[in-house]
Structure 1
Amino acid sequence: MRFVIVTGMSGAGKSTALKMLEDMEYFCVDNLPVPLLDKFAQLVRDGGSGDINKVALGVDIRSGMAFGELEQALERLRVPGFEPEILFLDADDKTLVKRYKETRRSHPLSGKGRVDEGIRKEREYLKFLRKSADYILDTSQLLTRELKAELEKIFVDNQSFQNMIITVLSFGFKYGIPEDADLVFDVRFLPNPYYIEELRPQTGNNPSVRDYVMRSELAHIFSDKLEDMMRFLIPNYISEGKSQLVIGIGCTGGKHRSVTLANELYNRLNKNGEYGVRIEHRDIEKDAKR
């Protein structure tokens, strides 16, 4: 029996995650009143629900005053042979505010006030849930298909999972350093394909550009040292509770060298399988548009 409680910040993707779990053959119930949680879990444990052996239960701040009883209710659920798992979906405040503005919905706790105030209150209410969560997924940078891949990894393939999503982000310095970057590395010391006429219109995703950049011994030394640093840093970030890491790799225009080195780091980190890794090329098409 697998019993998953899906919770987290409003606007972080809980409803989307429940739909995905339903497609993965989980029996899903959303917004079950907290007072009914014990009875529902007992029904599932005792087999009164038939041959259902995978359950996902959505719980969030919409439960109102009864939400305060959730911590005690979760403790009562943990009996020998039955260990509910908690999936906590999160996103940074800026992303949540943007999502609410796009959908023109009001936050459950904001009333007639501002969305950011509702988000602040909700974070306070959910602090105990996030702390006790088995899995924390930060959806700030995740595409829908990437969220699905992470859920399949955890709840279908049963792979080991660390609460960390790593974004390897290429960019061009002339367009500005990414505001959300945690670590920034400058690869403008490498040979620049821009000055090779046939390579100029191509990008670091093209084999000819990649081969040109990686032909430099410096590119391999840099990649080895960067990978070694990340292998050291990531476990320490995880142990400190960090759930999202954005690694920025920049060159002049964000089209050739940074794309090549970002792809190289992504491929190296992605072999680990213990945490989610995604790749994004922020400025790869900007020169062409100009």
Structure 2
Amino acid sequence: MTTGRTPKRILLVTGLSGAGKSTVLRTLEDSGWEVVDNLPLSLLEHLLSTPLSKGSSRRRPLAVGIDSRTRDFDARRIVGQIKRLAADYDYPVETLFLECAGSELMRRYSETRRRHPLAPDRPATDGIAAERDLMEPLKRWSDHVIDTTDTDANALQQQIRERFGGVSAPYLHVMSFGFARGLPRNADTVFDLRFLKNPHWEDRLRPLTGLDEAVGAYIATDEGYEEALRRIEDLLILLLPRYRSEGKSYVSIAFGCTGGRHRSVHVAERVAARLREAGFSPTVEHRDLGSRPRDPVEGAPVVGDREARTED
């Protein structure tokens, strides 16, 4: 099926109630998308076949919000409808699923004093559990999954602008983090840098970070440093154009060390610089750079290990 209204892109926005769907739809609308919320999917074909207003020729991307409140909601049936719509139109139908941890959803419902749509007369925990089961088939099918557990509204808006703002090249995000403080939730690729010498166990370097030249120079003395980083950089330079050719609009690369202050920060900066030289435009985020240096976080150095620096 082809019509004069077929949009440049169709995105179904769904997920758990309270995970940020309204924020996403508002952000897309501000970015120039046509937005329809809680439209029964059976009416989407009718919407697409409706002629544009007279004198209007611009085919804007279309975002359709659906959730458990949508009339006749059935996740498996919706997946089937998405497949049929994708087969009938020139442009693929993408699905964005918004995930969030139950404890955070509970906090949000408690703060706003809202009732969960699937548990109007019961605790919100019942509704969250029921909705998670109901939504699982749609989550498995989705092209994009964003976990908003640790993301406030402003950060979510930024993510949506970066992923769906209309740039032709994939948005490239390079970040550092500490494994001791948890994996980043939305990373596409994670590199573990805990094989490198740890500056934390050098008294003069402990207060510094991977942004300091002395820390970078120390890490670079590791015998595996140069070859490992060169291979990582070559791999990314090989893969990123392939992501672009496959239509991937957002790529997040995360570098982790134990505390997230030294090795991961230095390597993230180095790799981002190498990618810029290769013609890419990464943004860099250091998630745990502001954390305090603490021995319990880093773990005790192993006696005789190259990281165990003791005074003779």
Superposed pair shares fold, TM > 0.5: yes
Is 1:256 aligned to 2:259, yes or no?
Answer: no
Q: Residue deviations 1:204-257, cap 9 Å, x none? A: 2234433343354443345457778999xxx9xxxxxxx999764115xx5434
Query: Partner residue of 1:174?
Result: none
Structure with the higher fraction of residues in helix conformation: 1
TM-score, scaled relative to structure 2: 0.62
Is 1:148 aligned to 2:154, yes or no?
Answer: no
SS of the equivalent of 2:181 reads coil
Match for residue 178 of structure 1 among 158, 176, 181 = 181
What pairs up with 1:93-104 in 2 under 5 angstroms?
A: 93-94=101-102, 95-104=104-113
SS of the equivalent of 1:117 reads helix
Query: Partner residue of 2:39?
Result: 32
Query: Partner residue of 1:110?
Result: 119
Is 1:119 aligned to 2:125, yes or no?
Answer: no
Contact 1:5 1:85 in 2 (8 A): yes
Cα distance change on mapping 1:51 and 1:170 into 2, 3 Å:
same
Tell me how far apart the structure 2 counterparts of residues 71 and 186 of structure 1 sit (CA, whole Å).
Answer: 41
Contact 1:90 1:139 in 2 (8 A): yes
Tell me how far apart the structure 1 counterparts of residues 275 and 107 of structure 2 sit (CA, whole Å).
Answer: 30
Aligned-residue Cα RMSD (Å) equals 4.5
List runs of 5+ in structure 1 lacking aligned partners: 172-176, 236-242
Q: Residue deviations 1:157-187, cap 9 Å, x none? A: 134699xx9864136xxxxx23547886535
Report percent identity of matched pairs: 27
TM-score, scaled relative to structure 1: 0.66
Match for residue 138 of structure 1 among 144, 147, 171 = 147
Tell me how far apart the structure 1 counterparts of residues 19 and 82 of structure 2 sit (CA, whole Å).
Answer: 22
List runs of 5+ in structure 2 lacking aligned partners: 1-6, 185-189, 243-250, 295-312
Tell me how far apart the structure 1 counterparts of residues 14 and 117 of structure 2 sit (CA, whole Å).
Answer: 14
Looking at CA atoms only, which structure, 1 or 2, has the larger radius of gyration? 2
SS of the equivalent of 2:121 reads coil
Tell me how far apart the structure 1 counterparts of residues 221 and 166 of structure 2 sit (CA, whole Å).
Answer: 41
Tell me how far apart the structure 1 counterparts of residues 163 and 229 of structure 2 sit (CA, whole Å).
Answer: 27
Contact 2:27 2:160 in 1 (8 A): no
Amino acid at match of 2:19: A
Tell me how far apart the structure 2 counterparts of residues 256 and 185 of structure 1 sit (CA, whole Å).
Answer: 10
Task: Count residues with an aligned counterpart.
Answer: 266
Cα distance change on mapping 1:23 and 1:35 into 2, 3 Å:
same
Cα distance change on mapping 1:216 and 1:81 into 2, 3 Å:
same
Cα distance change on mapping 1:155 and 1:281 into 2, 3 Å:
closer
Contact 1:190 1:213 in 2 (8 A): yes
Query: Partner residue of 2:247?
Result: none
Residue 156 of structure 1 and its aligned partner are, at CA, apart by 0.1
Tell me how far apart the structure 2 counterparts of residues 128 and 113 of structure 1 sit (CA, whole Å).
Answer: 25
Tell me how far apart the structure 2 counterparts of residues 250 and 269 of structure 1 sit (CA, whole Å).
Answer: 24
Tell me how far apart the structure 1 counterparts of residues 255 and 27 of structure 2 sit (CA, whole Å).
Answer: 28
